[in-house]
Structure 1
Amino acid sequence: MLHAKKHLIVALAMALSLIAATAFAQTPVAGTIGVTVEEGKILAKGWSIKKDILGMDVYNDANDKVGTVEDIIVTPEKATSYAIVGVGGFLGMGEREVAIPVNQFKMNNKRIVLHGATKDALKNLPEFKYINN
């Protein structure tokens, strides 16, 4: 089970890296466009951001809900991905968003767990703001 979870996280990281590398390429890259058959097999076992991650609740070690995944950001410079987590508020009022590197999350029984997190700790992080498009 632990091996499968690590495999899913690796597949997610690979998918995000591939997206970032493709989406933000400055110059044409020689070689094959897209993924190989073997990469496709690995990706097919991974998680879909749209279907499996967005909107999922985030829990801490005590199994307390501490937030909800609102978005995933892939930076062009490092192909690093961050989850934008909505914290605080009630019924959508007063909620704020914070950025958490996805490598800090662990999967446990189909739940996203952020070890050591509390609602207060997340509320005290710098608020994430999108740049106007």
Structure 2
Amino acid sequence: MSKNLIFSALALTFVSFPALAQNATPPAAGMAPSSNTGMKMADTATVKLKFVTVKPADVMSSKLVGTTVYNNKNETVGEVEDLVIENGKALTGVVVSVGGFLGLGESYVVLDPSTLAISNKNGNSAVHADTDKDTLKSAPKFEYSKKKS
């Protein structure tokens, strides 16, 4: 009998309470909701398609992420972890991991891209910053809002 009572109480609990869902924010004017990425895509009626020519001196993000960051003394001070792109249009930050060993104890800082220099020697990219490890370790920390996948 007690099993039936517990089962009935659980059944009533699920029936009594409506499913709770997160309220979706309505898209801004000219914007249409996208899939589960958390990004909003521009309405196709408001954006005209443009093509871009990639020049040999251009740097691809796939080559930049994971690149070692060196200082002016050619010491390793971090590694490029991610790029910050504001509103899908402009690169506004470079997320750099600092400190730690084998991924443990590292922290992240976001550097202004205009303060970095990218070199490419023999197909190997490197990022250079006028800084040292202590400056980066004491810089304002950046934390991902959700775990990076």
**Cα distance in 2 between the residues matched to 1:103 and 1:24:** 27
Does residue 1:47 correspond to 2:59, yes or no? yes
State the TM-score, normalizing by the size of structure 1.
Answer: 0.66
Higher relative contact order by CA 8 Å / sep ≥ 6: 1 or 2?
1
SS for the counterpart of 2:139 is: coil
- Identity among equivalent pairs (%): 28
Q: How does 1:9-48 map to 2 (within 5 A)?
A: 26=42, 28-29=45-46, 31=48, 33-35=49-51, 39-40=52-53, 43-45=54-56, 46-48=58-60
By how many angstroms is 1:26 displaced? 4.8
**Cα distance in 2 between the residues matched to 1:48 and 1:62:** 26
State the TM-score, normalizing by the size of structure 2.
Answer: 0.60
Instruction: Choose between structure 1 and 2: higher strand proportion.
Output: 2
Structure 1 unaligned runs (5+)?
1-22
Bigger radius of gyration among the two:
2
Name the structure 1 match of 2:83.
72
Structure 2 unaligned runs (5+)?
1-38
By how many angstroms is 1:93 displaced? 1.2
Given the superposition, is the C-alpha separation of residues 29 and 44 from structure 1 closer, same or farther in structure 2, using an over 3 Å criterion?
farther
Given the superposition, is the C-alpha separation of residues 30 and 69 from structure 1 closer, same or farther in structure 2, using an over 3 Å criterion?
closer
RMSD: 2.4
Conservation of the 8 A alpha-carbon contact between 1:98 and 1:125 = yes
**Cα distance in 1 between the residues matched to 2:105 and 2:93:** 22
SS for the counterpart of 1:111 is: strand
Instruction: Choose between structure 1 and 2: higher helix proportion.
Output: 1
SS for the counterpart of 2:141 is: coil
**Cα distance in 2 between the residues matched to 1:80 and 1:49:** 11
**Cα distance in 2 between the residues matched to 1:24 and 1:104:** 29
